[in-house]
Structure 1
């Protein structure tokens, strides 16, 4: 199985967030960070990354994304470019997300179709830490994932066990967009 960890694109800062009436009407306290959306440049770069992936015939059986606006927008751009036809949201992919809970959900899932290529759209430092856990079995703070970047991992099966992955790629959006691959 292949797992691609994709960091969301460039997002606006907290000052750029304007909650909608719908956001304000919810009963929970609003975390403005959750509402930050991709900038115009962020949307453009993610679209370029998606177009490059499409040219390389890279597709995902499923994209699972953090519920935060900037991650959902990144996942939707990938989906709009036909990189994947299935998109799901997971609360465990929020910043400082819960890898053990997400892994338990993943291992207990029941999908109609087998998943051999999975993309997870989320945040730093979660994604690089998760990649290190999957590869080394511990966080070593050596991998850095740029906004719009991709870490590709290969597993022998779909269990996604800690310490069993092989790193197959670590790509910046600049490399994907500007390279001749």
Structure 2
């Protein structure tokens, strides 16, 4: 199973007076552009997720919606486990409950997405892999044993590097 873990794109600053709650912060125009660019990279790589799971927060949902539209994938489903405070076990359970799918894309937040990589690859969510906004990583889990620590970290791609790949 291929798991594509994505941090949401650049979002409106939490100190912006128009933002009443952190949960409501939308993507900025730059964030929308970053996410669309990353989705084009995924398309070039032949990624077509069977399932897209997203945090319920606005910026993560917008990220998932942009990726789904660019990849002509199904409608993203909400996973409360991808919101801040969610559990790594809960995320893995949500993935497995979805099929398990051949390819799944997750849209979430730091430090949760970084902790998830640590959990899937090293069975240790104290290992937090850093993600820039709109960065994506791929972790492969064996279909016959999709448990913490069984993951293989294939790559981690920040938007700046990805944009160079798309231009080639």
Q: TM-score scaled by structure 1? A: 0.83
Find the aligned partners of 1:93 and 1:159 in 2 and give their Cα distance.
22
Give the structure 1 partner of residue 102 of structure 2. 116
> Which digits, 9 at most, give the CA deviation of each residue in 1:61-88, with x for residues without a partner?
1110000000000000001112522410
Give the structure 1 partner of residue 93 of structure 2. 104
Alignment of 1:14-53 (within 5 A): 14-16=14-16, 18=18, 32-53=21-42
Q: Which runs of 5+ in 2 are unaligned?
A: none
Give the structure 2 partner of residue 81 of structure 1. 70
* 1:86–1:143 CA distance, 2 compared to 1 (3 A): same
1:65–1:71 Cα contact (<8 Å) kept: yes
1:116–1:158 Cα contact (<8 Å) kept: no
Structure number with bigger Rg: 1
RMSD of equivalent CA atoms: 2.1
* 1:110–1:144 CA distance, 2 compared to 1 (3 A): closer
> Which digits, 9 at most, give the CA deviation of each residue in 1:130-171, with x for residues without a partner?
111111111353521111001110111176310100010111
Find the aligned partners of 2:105 and 2:2 in 1 and give their Cα distance.
8
1:3–1:118 Cα contact (<8 Å) kept: yes
Across the two proteins, how many residue pairs are aligned to each other?
A: 167
Q: Which runs of 5+ in 1 are unaligned?
A: 20-30
1:61–1:86 Cα contact (<8 Å) kept: no
